[in-house]
Every structure is written in C-alpha cells, then in structure tokens.
Amino acid sequence: MLVCSEKDIWTQFLECLKGRCSISEYQNWIEPIKVIECTNDIIKLEVPNIFVQEYLVDNYKDIMHLFFPKNANGELALEFLIAPPKKIDAPNIKPPVKIETEKPASNFNLQYTFENFIEGPSNQFVKSAAFGVASRPGKTFNPLFIHGGVGLGKTHLLHGIGHFIHNHQKKLTAQYITTEAFINDLVNHLRNKSVDKMKQYYRSLDVLLVDDIQFLQNRLNFEEEFCNTFESLINQNKQIVITSDKPPSQLKLSERIVARMEWGLVANIGIPDLETRVAIIQHKANQKNIVIPSNVAFFIADHIYNNVRQLEGAINRLSAYCRLMRVELTEEVAENILREMFEYKPPSKITVEGILKTVASVFEVRVSDIKGESRLKNIAQARQVAMYLAKELMDESLMKIASSFGGKTHSTLLHAWKKISLQISIDKTLEKQIQMVKRNLGS
Ligand code: ADP
Ligand code: MG
C-alpha cells in the first residue's frame, strides 16, 4: 500500500543520497530498494537482501533521521521486508543422476580467500553477496552475477567462495571453471563421444563457479549446453556464481540465457578508491614480507588506479629491485622503477564538455545542437549517447551529471542510458560509433 508522500519523503531522501555516494554504490545498494508503504507514520521498504538493509542503516542513518518519520521513542519508524526469492519456471529437464565421487582436493588458489580480499566502498556489496552465497549456497541469491573491469577481483572472489565452501561445508562439491575451460571440456567430450558423462558431472555439483562468461559470446553451439547445465543446477537449487566483464544485458548471448542470469543478484565490482588501494598494497606487501613505507604506498596507489593486478605487479617489481640492489624502498626509487608503468599516463579526466565535443564530431552534429532542445533524430540520438557515456565514464552522481546537460533531470539521464544500452546490443553501427568516441576520449 503506497499511501502518500512517497515522492516527498523517499524521493527527497534519494536525491540527498545521490549527492553523497558514487554511481556504482547507488546502483548496487540503493536502486534495488522498493517502497512498500510510505505514510507520515511509517516507511516500509522492500530490500533484496539483508546486506542492503545493513548498508542503508549503517551508512545513512543520519540522513534517514532528517527525512523519515519517527515513533514515540524518537526512533526511526522504518521497517524492512526481505524480497521473496524470484520464482523459477518449472524444470523441463530430467533430474540429473548424482555420481558418487570422492570430494576432490581444493583446486582453489590459496591466496584468493575472503580474508585476503580488501574491502572498500567499490567492492563491499559484492564481497558481502559472495560471502552470503558461500555461507548459504543456493539459499540466498541464485545465480549471483558479478561484473566489472579487468583486475578488480572477480576471480579472487570466485575462489574465495570456493575456499569457504571447501572449508565450511564439507559435504558440498564446488567447482571453479573458466568459460574457456568449460568449452574445451565440452569439445573434448564431444570428440570422445562422452558428453553424457560430462553432463552428469556438472549436474551433480552443488556449487558451480563460472569465470568470464563473456567468452561464451559468439559460441552458439556451446551456449545451449551451458544454458542447459545452468538450468539443471538452478532448478535443483544448486548455487551458481558467474563473472563477466559486463552486465548480462550487454552480453551478446541469447535472451534465454541473459534472462536466467538476471534472475538472481547482479552486482558490480568497481575501481577501488585511493584508501582501499593503499590498504591492498599494504596487505599484499605484508603477505610477501615486504615493508612498504606509507608515502611510497600512497605514491603507487596514486599512479596505478584502475587495476589491482597492476598494483601487485608494481609491488613485485619494486621488491625485486630493492632486494637485488640492496637499496631502501623510497618514493624516489619507486618513481624511477615504476616510470615505465606510469607511462600509461592516467587518461585525462573525462568531463561532460569533452564528451559533448567528441560525440558531436563522431555523430557529425554541433555541440550547441546536443545542448539544445531539438528532437531531430540524429541530434536526439547524439544527446542520448552523450548522456549514456557521461553516466558510464564519469564517477559523479547522476544529479551532478544531469545538471551539466543544461539542467536535465537524473531520470532523463537514466532513460537515455537505458535506451542506448539496449540499442548498442542490436545496432552495430551505433556500437562502433560509441567505441570511437571512447577511444577519442582515451578511455
Ligand atoms: P579479475 O578477475 O576481476 O580480472 P582478479 O580476481 O584476477 O581480477 O584480481 C587480480 C589481482 O588483484 C589478484 O591477485 C587479486 O588477488 C587482486 N585483487 C583484486 N581486488 C582485490 C582486493 N579487493 N583485495 C585484495 N586483492 C585484490
Ligand atoms: Mg578474472
């Protein structure tokens, strides 16, 4: 029951939040919340899981006190409901035969544990979700779909889930597999005419951890087998976790499989902020028994910022140099040794003006047209592309970005983003144009 003033209270609250958190935080934590009831006496919110509730209460209690009603004791009159798990179609696949096998020794990378995963605002949500899944496989969100850029910890988290299950849920069998290995496995079994054996194996697992699903794109023959395995497991409430470099909707896979991947929880893993990068450096250095002075750690974190794997590379290179040359690790040494790495200069900061100029030249319209109100098809499309790119590439709140487009609202911006995201998947020319803009922007 939505009684009244949803707009007044909830929308005002959201608008205030947008100024305070990053886009990826907003998308991960706030957007999934639904208002069930909103009166002057109580607010009831539906959240997809307990982590979202905890996040909201832990981080925004002060703002909630400004907007939300309170009870007689002065406490927030706020109730949370956890959304029921999404219904899944009845299985149309024969029940799998469970094969009796000994639980294999853990094939998970020993370093990639939850304990070794450093949390920060950009990955806290995903880490909580991964931990939730590992603690109660098949019972929280299924599938869990993790997407994000290269070197941000997706594979680490998959192994983290695997370790946790291996150590805490002795009876369950968890298997980590890269999508390429799955395809190779299938090819080999096809060649040996033993596909049934493979099917039995995969379908007998309790937890399947699939890395880099983007490699299933354009592999039509394998997509179907993957989809069948996927459905078979999920219909038995077996846990699936998938990683990808992009969200399901942007993968060029069949509608069937995209829809299935969106059933559970889709979570984004973002670029860690400076403090988290420093904490990661210190943690990795500690593991390798290296002491990195805090100013050097900040120096490295300041220069290598969008890929944790590169941070590790920098630590390895520095420690090898200092050991071999018997020198102390100072900022100056770090600067000299890492100059090569730093030559990948951070791309110049992306601004709305920069996006407008580049979009205008690629789409052959004028910046003033994009900024104007014209509804001519090519101009309107260029405008929406500019908004799409601003949301994709800039780490600013939606409100801030929207206002840079001549006072547009954030819902106009979101509408443009959704529309272009959809169009890219069906319109090759548009996709190429957008890639060209991105290249020109150096992103
Ligand atoms: P992806 O699969 O997203 O490309 P990986 O999981 O392979 O990235 O991570 C690359 C490297 O960075 C790994 O060595 C991993 O341990 C490390 N790493 C990434 N994120 C974190 C983090 N938050 N804390 C600690 N190490 C991390
Ligand atoms: Mg990976």
User: Which pLDDT does position 25 carry in this prediction?
Assistant: 73
What distance separates the 2 farthest-apart alpha carbons in the chain?
A: 72
161-211 pLDDT tens trace: 999 999 998 899 999 999 999 999 888 888 888 888 988 898 899 999 999
Q: How far is 199 from 202, CA to CA, in rounded Å? A: 5
Nearest listed ligand to the Cα of residue 110: 1
Q: What pLDDT score does 381 carry?
A: 95
CA angle 164/167/169 to nearest 5° reads: 85
Q: Give the burial class of 137: count Cβ atoms within 10 A of its Cβ; 0-12 exposed, 13-18 middle, 19 or more buried.
A: buried
| pLDDT confidence of residue 85 | 61
Q: Whose CA is nearest to atom 1 of ligand 1?
A: 151
Nearest residue (CA) to ligand 1, atom 13 = 309
| Protein residues near ligand 2, an ion, with CB under 5 A | 154-155
pLDDT tens-digit map of 355-408: 999 999 889 899 988 988 889 999 999 999 999 999 999 878 888 888 888 778
HSE of 5 in the Cβ direction (CA atoms, 13 Å)?
13
Atom of ligand 1 nearest to the CA of 283: 25
Cite the DSSP H helix spans in 266-366. 274-287, 294-303, 308-325, 331-342, 352-362
Quote the pLDDT of residue 443.
Answer: 58
**Ligand 1 pocket, residues with Cβ under 6 angstroms:** 112, 116-118, 123, 150-156, 280, 308-309, 312
| Dihedral angle of Cα 390, 395, 397, 399, to the nearest 10 degrees | -20
Q: Which residues of the chain have pLDDT under 50?
A: 1-2, 4, 88-105, 344, 346
Structure tokens at 53: 């509730």
Q: What was the pLDDT predicted at 428?
A: 86
pLDDT value at residue 203: 87
- The one-letter amino acid code at 238 reads K
